[in-house]
Amino acid sequence: MNLTQLFDLSLQGRAAQPALEFQGVSYSFGDIEARANRTAHWLLDQGVSRGDRICVYLPNCLEIVDLFLACTRTGVIFVPVNILYRDREIQHILGDAKPSLFVNDCAMLADAAAKPSTRPALPALEGDDIAAIVYTSGTTGVSKGAMLTHNNFLANATNLVTCWQITSADRLLLPLPLFHVHGLGNGIPCWLATGFHVRLLERFEHSTATEQFLDYQPTLFFGVPTMYVRLLETAPEAARQIGARMRLWVSGSAPLPPQVLDDFQKLFGHTILERYGMTETLMNISNPYTGERRAGTVGFPLPGVSVRILDADGNDIAPDATGELHLKGPNLFAGYWGREQATRDAFRDGWFKTGDMGTRAEDGYITLQGRKSDLIISSGFNIYPREVEEFLLEQPEVAEAAVIGVPDPRKGEIPVAFIVPRPGASLDGLEERCRQNLASFKVPKQMVTVDKLPRTALGKVQKHILASQMP
Ligand code: MLC
Ligand code: AMP
């Protein structure tokens, strides 16, 4: 089975049913199907075929959905690119994925409207065929393309629909960017696997969030913690009305502070369900839909997902001890595109090394306790300090640089750079140059000038000491 067959099963007899709303326009499932077919014909007319890649650099819009669905039925591989990426980051992905097509303007698809709305002759796609390659910032300073198969998306959608009791009666408000798996890997497949209704937003705007919720009256919401922090600003009466319609609030991509879960429960009358996912694995672990949604934990492995928590020697740790989470399951990616060695390095005896540290209580609840690497997660976006440090060290005025994550009440963490300038050099133009070359969320929010960086005897920067030197 492939994704299209899963979606067809759920959409039978729903052609006339309202499916999705975007920018005030409503589309039926029949419209979505016709658009996907026209886009599939358009792709084939561009000379793109099964196994080729297309890079999609678009803000949230219907064309992203059209292209994703066209890819899942033609066997073309969908490669979303974060629209915050600058030229330097985009060039890396283009060089790595070597796409046949780079779609960065919806107008490019204009003549798709004239294509036939019937399905093109399609190759029989296997479940292990790659549906998408999603780039995730690399621990080595460059991002790697995680190959996600039809079976990965299928297993994930089946798990979430079952475990979170998602049905065709749901209404999902979807402001998450579709260039990441949180929106693309969870929101879109669950929608088509059940035929519920979606209001897609260009992005989450805290200034209009209340209005969106009151107007659309969703039952379902997937968000990152920053969105929940923002929603705590909702007026109590509006929160009560919103909460009366809502069925399920899910949080992930970064830690949800227990205090936020508690304050949210008091304001909206719902306990957020926290879960843990990754680009390489879609969804791994989730608090239960019925039962205790324990603050500060991510709950239990989803059906079919196996989790071991291992010490540095690869041994299972004792209950409540800390170790690295290792995973197995049908949700696990097929490796990093074009990087056989990095793929081998990501596994230990067949278990995927997540890089996430955690513990498992006697009753099975899993708590994440940070990353092995010095990954920074800001508003749900991943920042690998090494990537920012490498850019800073290319700048003539910089002699040494170290980037750390500093706690931030709204974003979780923000990147801060400690810089040793070259003798007599000024750092005046540095931030602007960072903004021109790095996605805005990666740009250090503070540049601290220091005479030298604290280092161990082996010369490794002691970043924990820097944190204590924050001005
Ligand atoms: C943020 N920006 C966007 C944007 N989101 N621009 C266009 N479209 C979007 N969707 C811009 C902001 O304008 C700002 O630009 C910069 O990015 C940093 O924004 P911010 O500091 O995050 O603040 P804010 O604009 O308030 O956005 C907060 C937010 C957004 C939470 C709405 O950050 C967001 O949507 N985060 C979700 C990221 C995500 O989907 N992560 C999932 C990864 S997958 P400037 O120029 O002003 O700096 C994963 C696996 C899993 O983790 O577990 O699911
Ligand atoms: P990405 O590489 O963008 O898919 O981000 C995946 C990373 O986000 C994971 O490896 C975790 O470090 C982090 N993450 C996802 N969900 C949670 C969560 N609920 N709590 C803490 N960290 C999380």
Q: How confident is the model over 266-295, as pLDDT tens digits?
A: 999 999 999 999 999 999 999 999 999 999
Lowest mean pLDDT across 86-100, 127-141, 187-201, 348-362:
127-141
In a domain, 380, yes or no: yes
Chain centroid offset of residue 411 CA: 15
The Cβ-side half-sphere exposure at 450, using a 13 Å CA radius, reads: 20
Q: Does any domain span residue 365?
A: no
Give the model's pLDDT for residue 72: 95
Q: Is 296 in the same domain as 407?
A: no
Instruction: Using the mean position of ligand 2's atoms as its centre, give its distance from the Cα of residue 111 in Å.
Output: 39
Protein residue with its CA nearest to atom 20 in ligand 2: 255
Atom of ligand 2 nearest to the CA of 137: 2
- What is the token pair recorded at 434? 């960072």
| pLDDT above 90: residue 470 | no
Contact (Cβ atoms closer than 8 angstroms) between residue 365 and residue 297: yes
pLDDT of residue 457 exceeding 80, the answer is no
Q: Which residue has the tokens 């007319």?
A: 45
Rounded CA separation 54/76 (Å): 7
Question: What pLDDT digit, counting tens, does each position of 223-270 carry?
Answer: 999 999 999 999 999 999 999 999 999 999 999 999 999 999 999 999
Asked if residue 278 has its Cβ within 6 Å of ligand 2, the reply is yes
Q: Is ligand 2 within 6 A of the CB of residue 131?
A: no
3-state class (DSSP) for residue 447: strand
User: In a mutational test of the pocket of ligand 1, which residue from 202, 212, 333, 441 has the highest number of ligand atoms less than 8 Å from its CB?
Assistant: 441
Q: Give the lowest-confidence range in 106-110, 234-238, 294-298.
A: 106-110
Q: Final residue of a domain: which of 310, 334, 359?
A: 359
Highest mean pLDDT (candidates 134-143, 325-334, 367-376):
325-334
Determine the average pLDDT of the residues in 23-49: 97
Residue 407, in any domain of the structure: yes
Total domains in the fold of the chain: 2
pLDDT tier at 297, thresholds 50, 70, 90: very high
Q: Contact at 8 Å (CB) between 374 and 399?
A: no
Q: Judge if the beta carbon of residue 156 lies within 6 A of ligand 2.
A: no
Tokens of residue 105, six digits: 């303007």
**Tokens in use for 349?**
């005896």
CA distance 147 to 340: 12
Pocket test for ligand 1, best of 81, 137, 205, 224 (most atoms within 8 A of CB): 224
Q: According to the 3-state scheme, what is the secondary structure of 48-107?
A: CCCCCEEEECCCCCHHHHHHHHHHHHHCCEEEECCCCCCHHHHHHHHHHHCCCEEECCHH
The percent of residues above 90 in pLDDT, for the chain, comes to 87
- pLDDT for 469: 84
In a domain, 274, yes or no: yes
Both 40 and 162 in a single domain? yes
In a shared domain, residues 345 and 391 = no
Q: Could you tell me the CATH number of the domain that includes residue 326?
A: 3.40.50.12780
**Quick one: which ligand is closest to 254's CA?**
2
Q: Given pLDDT bands bounded at 50, 70 and 90, which one contains residue 140? A: low
- Tell me the percentage of the chain whose pLDDT exceeds 70: 99
Using CA atoms, how far residue 206 sits from 180, 210, 226, 231, in Å, is 20, 8, 10, 7
> Which ligand lies nearest to the CA atom of residue 137 in the structure?
2
The finding on whether 226 has its CB within 6 A of some atom of ligand 2 is: no
Strand pairing class (398-408; 101-103): unpaired
Rounded CA-CA distance 471/458 in Å is 27
Q: Are residues 399 and 317 part of one domain? A: no
Q: Does ligand 2 come within 6 angstroms of the Cβ of 66?
A: no
- Please report the DSSP string for 336-359 in residue order: BTT-HHHHHHTEETTEEEEEEEEE
Range in 7-16, 160-169, 207-216 with the lowest mean pLDDT:
7-16
328 and 254 in a common domain: yes
Residues 334 and 404 in one domain: no
Quote the CA–CA distance of 119 and 131 in Å, as a whole number: 18
Within this chain, do residues 343 and 411 fall inside the same structural domain, yes or no?
no
Same domain as 458, residue 338:
no
CATH number for the domain spanning 423: value is: 3.30.300.30
Q: Using the atom order of ligand 2, give the atom closest to the CA of residue 134.
A: 4
Rg (CA), the chain: 22
- Statement to judge: residues 388 and 344 lie in one domain: no
Burial class (CB in 10 A: 0-12, 13-18, 19+), 254: buried
| 49 and 166 part of one domain | yes
Rounded-to-10 torsion of CA 21, 24, 27, 28: 70
Q: Ligand 2: distance of its center to the CA of 354 in Å? A: 9
Go through the chain and tell me how many residues it has: 471
Rounded-to-integer distance, Cα 60 and Cα 179, Å:
8
Distance CA 54, CA 38 (A): 16
Q: Which residues pair with 368 in a beta bridge?
A: 358
> Is 368 domain-assigned?
no
Q: 185: Cβ below 6 Å to ligand 2?
A: no
Mean pLDDT (whole number) for 360-376: 92
Phi, psi of 164, rounded to the nearest 5 degrees: -105, 10
Q: Is residue 364 part of a domain?
A: no
Whether residue 141 has pLDDT greater than 70: no
The yes-or-no verdict on residue 32 having pLDDT over 80 is yes
Q: Which ligand is nearest to the CA of 279?
A: 2
Indicate whether 308 and 419 sit together in one domain: no
36 touches 82 (CB < 8 A)? no
Summarize the confidence of residues 425-436 as an average pLDDT.
Answer: 95
Angle between helices 430-437 and 385-393 (to 10 degrees): 120
* 325 in contact with ligand 2, CB cutoff 6 A: no
The reply to whether 337 and 458 lie within a common domain is no
Among the ranges given (21-30, 118-127, 423-432), the one the predictor scored with the smallest mean pLDDT:
118-127
Q: What angle do CA 87, 393, 417 make, to 5 degrees?
A: 90
- Atom 15, ligand 1: which residue's CA is nearest? 440
Domain end residue (candidates: 298, 325, 359) = 359
Residue 58 Cα to ligand 1 midpoint, Å, equals: 14
Give domain status of residue 371, yes or no: no
Q: Is the CB of 281 under 6 A from ligand 2?
A: no
Average pLDDT score, the chain = 94
The answer as to whether 24 is a domain residue is yes
What range does the domain containing 289 cover?
A: 3-359
Residue 123 clears pLDDT 80, i.e. is over it: no
Probe residue for ligand 2, chosen from 273, 372, 377 as the CB with the greatest number of ligand atoms within 8 Å: 377
Residue nearest to ligand 2 atom 22, measured at CA: 254
Mutate which of 153, 381, 382, 410 for ligand 1? The one with the most ligand atoms within 8 Å of its CB, which is: 381
Which residue among 359, 390, 425 closes a domain? 359
Do residues 249 and 223 lie in contact, with contact meaning Cβ atoms separated by under 8 Å?
Answer: yes
- Helix ranges restricted to H, 246-285: 258-268
pLDDT by residue (tens digit) across 185-194?
999 999 999 9
Of the listed ranges 373-382, 394-403, 453-462, the least confidently predicted one is 453-462
